[in-house]
């Protein structure tokens, strides 16, 4: 298969080999033979084992846990490809780690998302493709073309299949996520509620005010990241206390650190639906109330269109 910028090559890092394989299958392309391994002291060593000279190369690598190792792999793979004369290198980063550090949160703190953008650019990437960035403005941290894809079409399809849309309420678990939740609510023609988290005084427990009448509704919480699970579990409790019939969550990136999967399993959430932007752990796979949707076709389509110099945004019309 050849795009307008040379033959298309897909290179997988170690963060999400299952997703990389599914994307390759969707595009009916082989994964490029490459070895990403460690020296005894854990230094990363990369060897691209086939010719990529003049190729349009897509590296598939989420910078998920262990974040620093996966980021370093991405940088070193990019360097190897650049030195091997790839014509164009696109870093496909389904989950962009460090995105939550997108501003100076206090005096003398870093903007790590910008630092990571600089590292990826300086390593030699020509383009970036990512999914549901924590903050859309992070695209501006790159001075190279950056496509931010949305998982919403995949989620909307699933919601339409599973639910009676007439009794659904979309809920943003915090004020910061309202734009994202409103976008999805519009697509399924559902009303929107918002949870306003507030800690009146330091040391006092957080108060969850539900803005909107959720009584009798099946609520769907929408967010970009579930990490510890605390936000979701507390939001589900607040919605049920306000009379919601039941609570589900659709979250793009299942970071699910530490005991998060167990926390979700023990919660009042009926179901948490995530995507495979981060490879699910065994705890996630075996959890009775966590389900994963594949984004392989979405990313595969976006790669195909990028290679053919076609519109990517029209995937979301």
Q: How far is the CB of 125 from ligand R5P (least distance, A)?
A: 25
Query: Nearer Cβ to ligand R5P, position 79 or 227?
Result: 227
Query: Nearer Cβ to ligand R5P, position 226 or 307?
Result: 226
Residue 200: both structure tokens together: 């009146």
Query: Which segments of the chain are extended strands (E)?
Result: 2-3, 6-12, 34-38, 44-48, 56-60, 88-93, 127-131, 146-149, 168-172, 192-198, 207-211, 218-226, 246-254, 271-275, 290-293
DSSP annotation of 39: -
Give the list of residues 6+ apart from residue 164 with CB closer than 8 angstroms, or none.
218
Q: How far is the CB of 103 from ligand R5P (least distance, A)?
A: 12
Query: Nearer Cβ to ligand R5P, position 13 or 177?
Result: 177
Q: How far is the CB of 34 from ligand R5P (least distance, A)?
A: 32
Give the interface with ligand R5P as residue ranges (CB under 6 A): 173-174, 176-177, 223-231
Query: Nearer Cβ to ligand R5P, position 56 or 223?
Result: 223
Q: How far is the CB of 94 from ligand R5P (least distance, A)?
A: 16
Q: How far apart are CA 176 and CA 180, in angstroms?
A: 9
**Is position 197 annotated as part of the catalytic site?**
yes
User: Using an 8 Å Cβ cutoff, are 49 and 80 in contact?
Assistant: no
Considering 9, 104, 162, 197, which one is annotated as catalytic? 197
Query: Which positions are annotated as active-site residues?
Result: 197
């Amino acid at each position: 298969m050849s795009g307008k910028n040379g033959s298309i090559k897909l290179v997988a890092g170690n963060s999400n080999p299952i997703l990389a394989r599914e994307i390759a299958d969707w595009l009916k392309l082989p994964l490029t033979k490459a070895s990403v391994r460690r020296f005894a002291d854990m230094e990363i060593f990369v060897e691209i084992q086939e010719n990529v000279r003049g190729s349009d190369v897509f590296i598939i690598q989420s910078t998920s846990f262990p974040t620093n190792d996966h980021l370093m792999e991405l940088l070193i793979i990019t360097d190897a490809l650049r030195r091997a004369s790839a014509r164009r290198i696109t870093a496909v980063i389904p989950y962009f780690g460090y995105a939550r550090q997108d501003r100076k949160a206090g005096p003398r703190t870093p903007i790590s998302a910008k630092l990571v953008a600089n590292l990826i650019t300086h390593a030699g990437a020509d383009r970036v493709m990512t999914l549901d960035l924590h903050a859309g403005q992070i695209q501006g941290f790159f001075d190279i073309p950056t496509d931010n894809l949305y998982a919403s079409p995949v989620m909307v399809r699933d919601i339409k299949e599973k639910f009676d849309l007439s009794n659904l309420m979309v809920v943003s678990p915090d004020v910061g996520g309202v734009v994202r939740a409103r976008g999805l609510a519009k697509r399924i023609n559902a009303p929107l509620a918002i949870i306003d988290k507030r800690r009146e005084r330091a040391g006092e427990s957080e108060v969850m005010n539900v803005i909107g009448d959720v009584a009798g509704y099946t609520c769907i919480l929408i967010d970009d990241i579930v990490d510890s699970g605390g936000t979701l579990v507390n939001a589900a409790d607040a919605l049920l206390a306000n009379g919601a019939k039941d609570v589900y969550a659709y979250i793009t990136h299942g970071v699910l650190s530490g005991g998060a999967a167990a926390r979700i399993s023990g919660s009042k959430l009926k179901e948490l639906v995530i995507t495979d932007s981060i490879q699910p752990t065994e705890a996630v796979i075996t959890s009775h109330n966590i389900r994963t949707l594949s984004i392989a076709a979405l990313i595969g389509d976006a790669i195909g269109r990028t290679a053919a110099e076609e519109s990517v945004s029209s995937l979301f019309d």
